């Protein structure tokens, strides 16, 4: 396993649901130790790494979010089962029977999402999509009093999923929270690549919080940094399944990072997109343009901050986003790192 894949594994396995990103922030701080940057964590929990440039140099922000979709405990039943809410958009169909980890910045508790078994459902119940209100988390206790020894209302949760490289030459990566720990890994690797290049830019690397629920920490970072331009590093859903029409497919796995022209929150700066495509062509770095309008990301908040910010979103094509396990291809991640480093070095 390469050092780059090991970094993604470490970040993927970290506990970091929206609102509880401290473990991820600590891991990233450790990875950046020794690099010539100023590190700061603000009141919301956003971590920034400032690579200072010459006086008056254009200010560039690279941003990826640390949080993952997850859960929050909202009620403890008399028999010890837990009611919960989701943090971010999770399809209820992928939840039942999944192992989860509950806790906060200090504790971890194992559990399983449960619901009425198929053997006990009526014909009408079997024909309906499962709903969150009919699910519980089982932590292996038999009473509210026993459960309260381990969990409290407001505790967070994530899927409990192993990280697994697979396929030919282990080229594909599977695990939880690839959205957006892949983006965090990309930023770390780009910073390592350019730290000693004496760039003609003032560069800020931001690892943001609370993106998955839309109450984004990126707003705070953008207002503080006031960048001239920003690169939002993300993952994007692909829909590259056999029964999905070509017109609804977003991108192709294995063909590099994905540039967005438009999504549900942002129209991206066309001149900056053209510049990215030009540099990619000159350096022979694979990149592709997103073919379907969907989703949104921190660019929605960044481009409207201050006096306005020119934005580009570059995403790793990723299967099964917001599910217990997602899949990406490492060559796409490598291409994103190379392209972003080239953009900074060829400003």
Q: Report the catalytic residues.
A: 211
CA-to-CA distance for 189 and 194, rounded, in angstroms? 9
- Secondary structure (3-state) at 105: coil
Q: How far apart are the first and last CA of the chain?
A: 33
| Contact (Cβ atoms closer than 8 angstroms) between residue 67 and residue 212 | yes
CA-to-CA distance for 321 and 303, rounded, in angstroms? 24
DSSP string, 276-326: HHHHHHHHT--EEE--S-----THHHHTTSTT--EEEEEEEEEESTTSS-E
HSE value, Cβ hemisphere, 13 Å, CA-based, for 244: 12
CA-to-CA distance for 282 and 327, rounded, in angstroms? 29
- Burial-class residue 100 by CB neighbours within 10 Å (0-12, 13-18, 19+): buried
Closest CA to 209 of 180, 236, 189: 180
């Amino acid at each position: 396993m390469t050092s780059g894949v090991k970094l993604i594994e470490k970040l993927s396995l970290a506990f970091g649901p929206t609102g509880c990103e401290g473990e991820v922030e600590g891991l990233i701080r450790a990875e950046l130790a020794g690099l010539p940057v100023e590190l700061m964590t603000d009141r919301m929990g956003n971590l920034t790494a400032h690579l200072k440039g010459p006086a008056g140099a254009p200010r560039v922000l690279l941003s990826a979010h640390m949080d993952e979709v997850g859960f929050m405990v909202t009620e403890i039943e008399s028999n010890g089962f837990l009611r919960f809410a989701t943090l971010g958009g999770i399809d209820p169909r992928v939840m039942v029977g999944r192992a989860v980890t509950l806790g906060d910045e200090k504790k971890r508790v194992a559990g399983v999402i449960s619901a009425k078994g198929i053997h006990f459902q009526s014909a009408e119940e079997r024909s309906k999509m499962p709903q969150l209100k009919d699910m519980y988390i089982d932590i292996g206790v038999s009473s509210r009093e026993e459960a309260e020894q381990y969990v409290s209302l407001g505790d967070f949760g994530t899927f409990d999923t192993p990280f697994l490289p697979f396929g030919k030459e282990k080229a594909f990566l599977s695990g939880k929270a690839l959205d957006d720990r892949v983006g965090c890994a990309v930023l770390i690797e780009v910073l390592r690549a350019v730290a000693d290049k004496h760039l003609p830019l003032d560069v800020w690397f931001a690892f943001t919080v609370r993106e998955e629920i839309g109450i984004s920490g990126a707003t705070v970072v953008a207002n503080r940094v006031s960048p001239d331009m920003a690169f939002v590093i993300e993952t994007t859903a692909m829909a590259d399944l056999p029964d999905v029409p070509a017109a609804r497919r977003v991108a192709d796995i294995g063909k590099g990072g994905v540039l967005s022209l438009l999504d549900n929150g942002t129209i991206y700066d066309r001149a900056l997109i053209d510049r990215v495509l030009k540099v990619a062509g000159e350096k022979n770095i694979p990149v592709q343009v997103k073919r379907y309008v969907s989703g949104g990301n921190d660019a929605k908040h960044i481009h409207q901050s201050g006096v306005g910010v020119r934005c580009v979103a570059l995403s790793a094509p990723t299967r099964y986003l917001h599910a217990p396990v997602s899949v990406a291809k490492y060559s796409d991640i490598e291409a994103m790192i190379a392209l972003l480093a080239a953009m900074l070095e060829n400003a």
